[in-house]
Amino acid sequence: MQISGAQMVIEALIAEGVNTVFGYPGGAIMNVYDEIYKQDGFKHILNRHEQASIHAAEGYAKASGKVGVAMITSGPGFTNAVTGLADAYMDSVPLVVISGQVPMSLIGTDGFQEIDAIGISRPCTKHNYLVTDAADLPRVLKEAFYIAASGRPGPVHIDIPKDVTAQIAEYNYDIELELETYKPHTKGNPRQIKKAMEAIAKAKRPLFYLGGGIINSGATAEVREFVHTTGIPAVETLMARGVLSYDDELLAGMLGMHGSYAANMAMSETDLVIGLGVRFDDRVTGKLSEFAKNAGVIHVDIDPASISKLVHADYPIVGDVKNVVKDMLEHVSKIKHEKFESWRQTISDFAELHPLIFHEDSERIKPQWVVQRVGELLGDSANISTDVGQHQMWAAQFYPFSRPNQWITSGGLGTMGFGFPAAIGVKAACPDKTSINFTGDGSILMNVQELMTAVEKKIPVINVILNNNFLGMVRQWQTLFYDKRHSETDLSVQPDFVKLSEAFGGIGYRVTTKEEFDAALKDAVEKNVVAFIEVIVERFENVMPMVPSGGSLFNMMLLEKKETK
């Protein structure tokens, strides 16, 4: 059928099963928004900033496992969105982001709201397109969704000039994709898999190193079976929280800069690293020359560019984690569970020697207690989003994650302002779960305008603001490494967060005691509306353990256990 380019966009989104689109209109994409007004195939959520639109689409994608979709306009609309694109690219989040562009006759003339969106997005997208003919739109849109979701997921950007959205052309979405240069390798090499399993059978102290790729591939069930059948202990990266349940006896905890003592020491003592869907990020490895230096390395990843990029893989396996682990399970009978009993005991001893703790030695509430308490009260019934900073690490350390897609955070880029819009996307994807955003008094102001989005669309996100009147993580580094010179990190002058929430139409609470917090959380959950719970916490609390930047995992700064008489 002959329809406009703008209509093609709408028809393609409906054909792809998209039910929620996040965005912000403007001149260059107005034709598409006119068609959005006329359709009823999906819901559009108007964010109040383009960066927030991308983060909301990220939250939707991370919680649902589907491709997130956002629409933005040209010029500043697009440049506002770049941070979100970069965030999604770093964390392998499948997105299709559609931007309007000035008419083709104005491209290259420095026209009003013109920017080289393709040139800017190239370093922070998996692929991008400038569509110059409406007849190409069906193919481009279909390719975009396929590329975003397949292989190593990531954001795909489509830039469409305004006159192209007005063009009339033939629309046919029932087409075969022909991507000669893009063929993700999803099946692992059988010989390499056999060699890896033989290495596991011979190892004395093997360790599963679980990454976010497991969640991306939907491989949690297979990985849990692999871990439990073999009896091999496991550590998780920040992005893999929930792959194993928090109470799994084989889970040594989170690995890395703020990982547990048991997890970091296990990695330092292992003789075989079994890396599944990981990229050996610097926040995980610390000093590369000291990382698991006495261990062989099995590395399973769908992205061949990640294999041996930072740490040499003795057993490289390129393939989808789910497929590879299924094949590995066929050889698992050769591995004896009881063989690793002493190794499991060693890791248990590490955990007992330096458990993940905090001390209740302040008149103010400890931030770790707040995270722990939300976990006790809501547990599996909540999805947890965070901004970036100390609160993010405390959430990763102390929340009882029990399932994949429960934990939504900005890992690779570390984007302040991510949490609130992401939590909106999470709630849109999973309306039956309570959407909690742990944030700080610095981060929440980065995208505070999304209060209006949440209130208008009746998306009840509960923002738990751990207010220490500091840019907490920067302050921590200044305290530890800059002789307490707190340069521009004191946030003592802050708004009244209760009134701020109420001004937008939400509800607000300011709590200073544990009893007040319990009451506020209970009330916010029952009222099921947008909420700010401002918790006045200990100002100078540090995130511990901590591996100094560039340090070795076994060289941790620790919070010691208190001696009791």
Catalytic residues: 50, 112-113, 162, 473
- Of the candidates 203, 341, 348, the one whose C-alpha atom is nearest the C-alpha of residue 266 is 348
* Cα 540 from Cα 343, distance rounded (Å): 37
The three-class DSSP label of residue 375 is helix
Q: What tokens appear for 246 in the block?
A: 């928090």
Phi/psi for 215 (5° steps) reads -70, -40
| CB neighbours of residue 486 within 10 Å | 13
Nearest to 521 by CA among 416, 458, 400, 434: 434
Beta strands in 47-203 (DSSP E): 68-72, 95-101, 127-130, 155-161, 168-170
Dihedral angle, C-alpha 407, 408, 413, 414, nearest 10 °: -80
Query: CB under 8 Å to 432, separation ≥6 — which residues?
Result: none
Q: How far apart are CA 278 and CA 282, in angstroms?
A: 12
Cβ atoms of 115 and 45 closer than 8 Å? no
The set of residues, in sequence order, having a beta carbon less than 8 Å from that of 563 and lying 6+ positions away, is none
Local structure of 32: helix, strand or coil: helix
Give yes or no for a contact between 444 and 468, defined as CB atoms under 8 angstroms apart: no
